[in-house]
Structures are given as C-alpha cells and as structure tokens.
Amino acid sequence: MNDRWIHGWTGENGVTGKYSYLTASIVNREMRLPMITIPSPAGNIMPAEVLSLIDALKHVIPNIDLVLFDRGFYSKDLIVRLSSLPVPYIIFVPKREMERRELESMRYGEKKVIVHQFSFYSDNKKIRGDTKLAFLRKIFDRRTEEYLDWVFATNMEEVNLESIISQYKIRWRIETMFRVQDECRIKTKSKMIEVRYFLFAYEQLIEAIWYLFYSKEVSFKRFLIELSSVCNTLVENEERRRSPHT
C-alpha cells in the first residue's frame, strides 16, 4: 500500500480519505466521451498533470478547439503553463475578493473583458503572466430562473460575451457522465492504486459503451443488470465445460 495516493477527506459518513483521478474528455453538444484518465497522488502538481494530458491528447487530436476547466483548475501556474502549448481555454473563475469587487462595480446585465496581469514565485523565481477575465453581471439563467454572476478566464483572441456562458456550459455534460458512472461503482477494500485505477477505468469503459451504443435503447441501470446476467451466464457455462462431472 502506498498512502501517497489517498487524499485527505472530511470524515463525513466515516470517509477520511479518497482516491483522485484526472480525466480529459471530448465534449460537445452531441457527444461526451472520456479519452484519458490518470490517477492523481496527494500533493500533486496539478498544472503539470493537466499539461501531460493535453500533450498526450494532441497526438490523437492535433487541433483542439477549446479546453474547458471548472473552478478547481483556476491557478496562475496553470495559466502560465497553458500559454506554452498554446490551446484556447475557458476556466470558470471562483469569485474571490477581487472578482466580487469588480462585479459589484458593474450594472445589472453588463458584460466586459479586462486583461488581468499577475505574478507569482516558483522555485525562488518571479513568474509573470496574464489572461483575459470576462465578467458578466446578473445574467438570467433559464435553467435555474435566477440572475447569476459569471467570471471566466480565457486566452481566446475574440471573446464573444454573448456566447461564452453557453460555451462553458457544454462542460456540464462531463458532470452528467460522472453521475451516470457512479451507478456502476465497483466496491473494493483494496488500497492498491493499481486495483483502484483499473476499476475506475473499467467503470468509465462500461459507461462509454452504454452511452455510445445503447443509451437510446435502455437505461444505464437496465444495461448493467443485463450485462451482469450475460457475464454470469458466460462464467457458469465455462465452469460447466471445465467440470469433470459433466
């Protein structure tokens, strides 16, 4: 067992640690499909992991239209590293003090883009970078029927403030993918990362097969039940074939 793969957790429901995986998926209005997943150790350098995934994907998909990140990926380090690729990105920005002040100075319905310059220290060196921040104040959201504030970081040359929210919302299809995948979670007490990683990847494979070939015919739960039945039958038939008493 190597505890470096276990991330500390809150203790809620008796859970004090979790395994973490980083997944890159193809997602658009017609499709969502996981492409590559890696296990992420505790104390990981997240920006380096993200770039390794994008670099691997570029060998398969040379022209990446847009990379979408949720708020957990917003960091100066990642933004600087992304500039070395380069690929267009949109990152959902958490609303901290600076972002809240900017939004509060805007009128309801106002949208604007500013250039955000920043610096940070890494390995005793001062690193500078910049990104564009798109601020959208109290925009009506049809799904929730509420007026919401949005902040995005992006390096797109032309930032379309009328469509940036809908562009980002495509990423939510990935959240749907993981919610569905959770229905086939395979339980194990093993703390070996090889076992955990294999089972997580296998769950993704099962969900992807259902989504691509069977989602219009049966629910995922029904697919799992029928898949289990077929597998049990195959195992029983093989056991009968090998049994000396048959």
For 152-200, how does the pLDDT look when each residue is reduced to its tens digit (9 = 90+)? 999 999 999 999 999 999 999 999 999 999 999 898 989 999 999 999 9
Q: What is the pLDDT of residues 120-160, one digit of tens each?
A: 998 889 999 999 999 999 999 998 899 999 999 999 999 99
pLDDT tens track for 102-120 = 999 999 999 999 999 999 9
Q: What is the mean pLDDT of the chain?
A: 92
- Give the model confidence (pLDDT) of 201-219 as tens digits: 999 999 999 999 999 999 9
H or E element at residue 240: helix 220-242
Separation CA 6–CA 155 (nearest Å): 34
1 pLDDT band, cuts 50/70/90, is very low
Q: Check: CB of residue 8 under 8 Å from CB of residue 20.
A: no
pLDDT at 86: 83
Assigned token pair, 166: 């809908």
pLDDT of residue 239: 82
Q: What is the C-alpha R_g of the chain? A: 22
Distance (Å, rounded) from C-alpha 156 to C-alpha 90? 8
**Tell me, what's the pLDDT at 135?**
98
Check whether 2 has a pLDDT greater than 70.
no
The two three-digit tokens of residue 216, written as one number = 């219009």
